[in-house]
């Protein structure tokens, strides 16, 4: 797993939303366990605000050093 995933999860645990935001690509694709995909960093961060720290993903795709695709 790329180090950026651990950095993101650390930022979420520390409730450092600004740091977490910088680790996510603006056009993020966030896979959910129900098979749907949420698109966009802003929407994902709003969902995580309610949900809390996510579980580690099965895999991720990076773009420009940021998390672009999160696959549960």
59 inside domain: no
37 inside domain: no
Task: Report the pLDDT value the prediction gives residue 72, as an integer from 0 to 100.
Answer: 96
Domains of the chain: total: 1
Task: Report the pLDDT value the prediction gives residue 4, as an integer from 0 to 100.
Answer: 98
10 inside domain: yes
Q: What is the pLDDT of residues 14-65, one digit of tens each?
A: 999 999 999 999 999 999 999 999 999 999 999 999 999 999 999 999 999 9
2: its two tokens = 């790329």
48: its two tokens = 């995580």
14 inside domain: yes
Sheet holding 37-39, edge to edge: 37-39, 24-31, 66-71, 59-63
Range of the domain at 10: 1-27
- For residue 72, give the nearest of 11, 13, 64, 47 by alpha carbon: 47
36 inside domain: no
Which runs of consecutive H residues, i.e. helices, occur in 1-72?
Answer: 3-13, 17-22, 41-51
39 inside domain: no
């Amino acid at each position: 797993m790329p180090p950026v995933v651990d950095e993101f999860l650390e930022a979420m645990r520390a409730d450092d939303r600004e740091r977490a935001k910088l680790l996510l690509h603006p056009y993020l694709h966030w896979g959910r366990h129900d098979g749907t995909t949420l698109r966009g960093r802003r929407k994902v961060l709003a969902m995580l605000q309610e949900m809390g720290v996510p579980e580690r993903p099965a895999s991720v795709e990076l773009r420009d050093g940021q998390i672009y695709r999160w696959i549960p």
